[in-house]
Amino acid sequence: MSTLEMLIAFGVFTLCLAAIILLAFGDEALIVDAEASGPALSLAQKMLEEERALARQDFRLANSTTTVVEAGPLVYNASVAVSQSDFFTKQATSTVTWESAGRPFSVELATILTDSRSLSDDTCSSIVTGDWTRPALTSVPFLDLIATSTGPYPISDVNAYRGKLYVSVARTPYKTDPTFFIFDIADPAHPVLLGTLDNAPANTGGLAAVRIVEDRAASVVYAFAASASSFASGQLQVFDVTGAARPRVLVTYKIPLTHVPSAGLGNALAYRDGYVYLGLTSTSGDEFDIINVQDPSAPVWVGGYASGGHDVNAIAISGHYAYVASPAAQEVTVLNIAVPASPQYVAGFNAPVGGGNGKSLYAIGTSLFLGKTAPNAGPEYYKLNIADPSAIQSANADPLTKETGSSINGLVTRDFLSFVLTNAAFTVVSATSTAQLSSVALPASGSAYEPSMDCEGNAFYAASNDAGNNGSLSVITTP
């Protein structure tokens, strides 16, 4: 073999050896990367599963989160970003990032979350957007919205649902005046009247509360209303509001006299999975009543509970439990409603400071938010732990509270913020510390008819009434 051939052979050998060394080190890097990406992928999957579990428990609990996980020398930064594509659908995207040998890596997974209930009445987004330290309030007199100069029209309740706002009034000037109104809120700041309905042409009485429920499978929209018109006529009314321009009364339902023998007008209302939970004013019978409305045109009373002659001011449903607010010594009564025909008393909450008078409720996950009337010796805002409903008193010996100085007539909690409606203002507070972020005054107050509110998406709709019992409608949004 010549010297030249030997040099060529040696060169080839050197190149091969270098390639083998590089391949070996490359394989080692690949092995390290694979070992790091495995836990990252597992973490991303785990966080998505947690979001799915939260959505199954309560669709409103599925919200964005972040966390940091240390695994030996590696630090994983994990987050779930939750966005809402429509009122009943969210997308959760789980992202995990880390560094290895000075190089950035990431994995990303996504899933769709849906509100699986076929009938739903809540279109308020749990995802907080905008700057709620600077809410913007726009108001208009209700008489202007309905194009009349004759009042009074005290607003009793509002319910926003899929681009429409449904408004009930407590009474009217004349017997044949409408007591139920439907507005288009495609532009939230400029409601446009679509249709009206008189729930009780025989008198000037109206409605106390309303909830909108859609049978999405059948494309039919119903309004369930607590009637304050007449004990003789009935306490629950069902409207077909599918055609917003021509809403119609489907049925007026009177609770059997064997269960409510006297007085007892509709005062509060909640809906869940084919049942209306109706709260009445003081009666000698059952102030809390469960009505089967799986066929909305044919309600059937199935069970009730007597609250001792106290009005039912608000009802919140969570799991197999109903939370009832009343002016009793115990602000909240907890009822097991797993068997609708036989609601059972479980426990009650009596605030450690101040008197009774539970006024408003909002339940989400393992938390119950309570608003009380004022004046009293203690706070009006309470965040209560209801992980064990039977232990609501012992678990809340020192609850998170806030003094508002005014009755709390409405409460909504979205993720980390609580939105509080008092007699005079719309206030935003932290749901984890009760620190106040902002407050804007309502345009009218002084009426015996308390303010009410509801939320759709990121916008709030609040109703208030002046001393002459004429209502105003306010829209609260963020800049």
Question: Residue 307 in 3-state DSSP?
Answer: coil
The residue type at 455: C
Report residue 34's pLDDT band, with 50, 70 and 90 as the boundaries: low
Give me the numbers of helices (H) and strands (E) for the chain, helices first please: 2, 33
pLDDT for the residue numbered 51: 94
- The span from the CA of 352 to the CA of 374, in Å, is 16
The residue type at 141: P
Q: Is the pLDDT of residue 31 over 80?
A: no
Task: State the pTM of this model.
Answer: 0.89
- The span from the CA of 141 to the CA of 473, in Å, is 6
- The span from the CA of 96 to the CA of 109, in Å, is 9
Q: Is the pLDDT of residue 226 over 50?
A: yes
Report residue 117's pLDDT band, with 50, 70 and 90 as the boundaries: low
Q: Is the pLDDT of residue 9 over 70?
A: no
Q: How much is the average pLDDT of 264-284?
A: 95
C-alpha 233, offset from chain centre? 31
- The span from the CA of 476 to the CA of 474, in Å, is 6
pLDDT in tens, 179-194: 999 999 999 989 999 9
pLDDT in tens, 330-374: 999 999 999 999 999 999 999 988 777 999 999 999 999 999 998
Q: Is the pLDDT of residue 11 over 50?
A: no
Q: Is the pLDDT of residue 37 over 70?
A: yes
For 323, the token pair is: 């939370």
pLDDT in tens, 129-155: 999 999 999 999 999 999 998 989 999
Which range of 67-71, 85-89, 408-412 scores highest in mean pLDDT? It is: 408-412
Helix, strand, coil shares, percent, the chain, to 5? 15, 45, 40
ω into 152 cis (within 30 of 0) = yes
Report residue 120's pLDDT band, with 50, 70 and 90 as the boundaries: low
Q: Is the pLDDT of residue 27 over 50?
A: no
Give yes or no for a contact between 159 and 211, defined as CB atoms under 8 angstroms apart. yes
pLDDT for the residue numbered 241: 98
Across the chain, mean pLDDT equals 90
pLDDT for the residue numbered 8: 40
- β-strand 136-141 against 155-161: which pairing, if any? unpaired
Q: Is the pLDDT of residue 26 over 60?
A: no
Query: Is the domain 119-477 a CATH 3.40.1160.10 member?
Result: no
Give yes or no for a contact between 424 and 442, defined as CB atoms under 8 angstroms apart. yes
Q: How much is the average pLDDT of 388-410?
A: 96
Domain with CATH 2.130.10.10 in the chain: 119-477
Q: Cβ of 102: how many Cβ atoms within 10 Å? A: 5
Share of the chain above pLDDT 90, in %: 78
**Residue 223, CB-side half-sphere exposure with 13 Å CA sphere:** 35
pLDDT for the residue numbered 90: 94
Report residue 13's pLDDT band, with 50, 70 and 90 as the boundaries: very low
Sign, CA torsion 266/420/125/48: negative
Contacts of residue 159, defined as CB under 8 A and 6 or more positions apart, other chains included, come to: 121, 165, 166, 210, 211, 212, 223, 454
pLDDT for the residue numbered 28: 41
pLDDT in tens, 90-107: 999 999 999 988 889 999
Report residue 441's pLDDT band, with 50, 70 and 90 as the boundaries: very high
Report residue 116's pLDDT band, with 50, 70 and 90 as the boundaries: low
DSSP string over 409-463: EEEEEETTEEEEEESSEEEEEETTT--EEEEEE-S--B-SS--EEEEEBTEEEEE
- The span from the CA of 464 to the CA of 451, in Å, is 4
pLDDT for the residue numbered 33: 62
Pick the range with the lowest mean pLDDT from 21-30, 96-105, 287-296, 433-442.
21-30
Q: Is the pLDDT of residue 410 over 80?
A: yes
- The span from the CA of 232 to the CA of 298, in Å, is 18
Q: Which candidate, 157, 220, 162, 228, places its Cα nearest to that of 199?
A: 228
